[in-house]
Structure 1
């Protein structure tokens, strides 16, 4: 079941709601530059196991409205709050991949964990996607600047290159084309704007310290986008967190090792 939820007077985001009467709700926040469809191989399986799965397309991506502004973590986490309130969600698991993980962590801090019983981070861009003077891990600023430049110059080429580094092992041509199309659905300006947030002051060190709920960290050791030391920093910075390394995964661990991913997520929710 899909529908739209208003998050600002002139902005609506698209929500896919599977198995609304499920025993436990998982709200999924996708990574850049995809949509909720990235979680297809979770949505195929988890509702069959009795879970309610809600996928949100962030503004500018997927089937959501594409305003020209509003792509900082504060605004994107406020959009999530609007979805949570509209659907009256309580005691749910908030799951976020990559930039979606960063938005989830900002939500936890900014909205005081509103409605969330558990947090799950998948290859999250936390605490910082880029290297900083006080954080020697992550991508270089130059690498992100190149992504932004290519977004404005030849976005399809940039997306192809990003897809090539996303998964750990060989993916078929048709699957690569599917992943490519997800990125093309986004607005170019939204794609660049979110990438620009990584370069600015968007870091989540203090946000992590405000998280009190049980937290699961799933991260591929071969991740070339959000490098594995980010996961170790998350475990160090978030109380009551568990880190599960994925030995045969890159950034797309929800596909690279989808059976293990689904199993670990369900075990965490039941624990």
Structure 2
């Protein structure tokens, strides 16, 4: 099932809801600069295992509306709250990748874990901000030659070899976003961070992180693990920034076990 949910006047967020009658529910939050489509290889498998999989596109990304404003972490977290309220979700696992991990952390802290019983952080942008130099490079690339900027991402995101067509698929997901939202979210990741939120997380937390991550170093995951009570860190030895693609079978097994 697919929905458009109005998160504020004039702004609709796209939601894909697979296996709505599943016994367990995971709400997947994508990373920058992608969409719910990044989780294709989870959505192919997990619903057949009895799990309800909900993928949402941030405002400005994927199939969602693309307003010019509203890209700070608080507003984006509030968008998640509207989705959880609208779909009447309870006892769910919230899973966030990269920038989506930071957003999931902010949601838990800002909304007191409302509707959420477990948290999964996947190579999350935590606890600090994206370094200013790197963020400014991404912003400049976005505003001058966004296709070229996106074409450079697979080299740093993947550890394993991927085919040309797979790389093209990955880049096309990024191209679905608006340029202004792509730049605005990176500015948010440069200027905000979730360090102060980590002590407010009160649900069991699984931290998955590729040991070869060139985007968010593995040391960040180790620090995040220390700062979140009741968290477990699982290193992915053959992954960079996208373990759900680099080691998809292992990822799916681990996620299924944690949700159960």
- TM-score > 0.5, shorter chain as reference: yes
1:205 corresponds to 2:174: no
> Match of 1:31?
31
1:184-195 alignment runs, 5 A limit: 184-195=175-186
Please point out which of 144, 158, 175 is paired with 1:153: 144
- Contact 2:23 2:51 (C-alpha < 8 Å) held by counterparts: yes
Question: In the TM superposition, what is the alpha-carbon distance from 1:234 to its structure 2 partner?
Answer: 1.1
1:122 corresponds to 2:122: yes
Secondary structure at 1:21 match in 2: coil
Please point out which of 154, 162, 181 is paired with 2:153: 162
- Tell me how far apart the structure 2 counterparts of residues 129 and 230 of structure 1 sit (CA, whole Å): 11
> Match of 1:72?
72
Structure 1, unmatched stretches of 5+, are: 131-139
> Match of 2:82?
82
Cα RMSD (Å)? 0.7
> Match of 1:233?
223
- Contact 2:99 2:189 (C-alpha < 8 Å) held by counterparts: no
- Contact 1:16 1:55 (C-alpha < 8 Å) held by counterparts: yes
1:208-223 alignment runs, 5 A limit: 208-223=198-213
What number of residue pairs does the alignment pair up? 260
Secondary structure at 1:7 match in 2: strand
Secondary structure at 2:28 match in 1: strand
- Contact 2:61 2:181 (C-alpha < 8 Å) held by counterparts: yes
- Tell me how far apart the structure 2 counterparts of residues 149 and 166 of structure 1 sit (CA, whole Å): 19
- Tell me how far apart the structure 1 counterparts of residues 39 and 173 of structure 2 sit (CA, whole Å): 12
- Contact 2:99 2:124 (C-alpha < 8 Å) held by counterparts: yes
Q: So what's the TM-score if we normalise by structure 1?
A: 0.95
Structure 2, unmatched stretches of 5+, are: none
Secondary structure at 1:191 match in 2: helix
- Contact 1:129 1:226 (C-alpha < 8 Å) held by counterparts: no
> Match of 2:9?
9
> Match of 1:134?
none
Question: In the TM superposition, what is the alpha-carbon distance from 1:163 to its structure 2 partner?
Answer: 2.2
Q: After TM superposition, where is structure 1 displaced by more than 4 Å over at least 4 residues in a row?
A: none
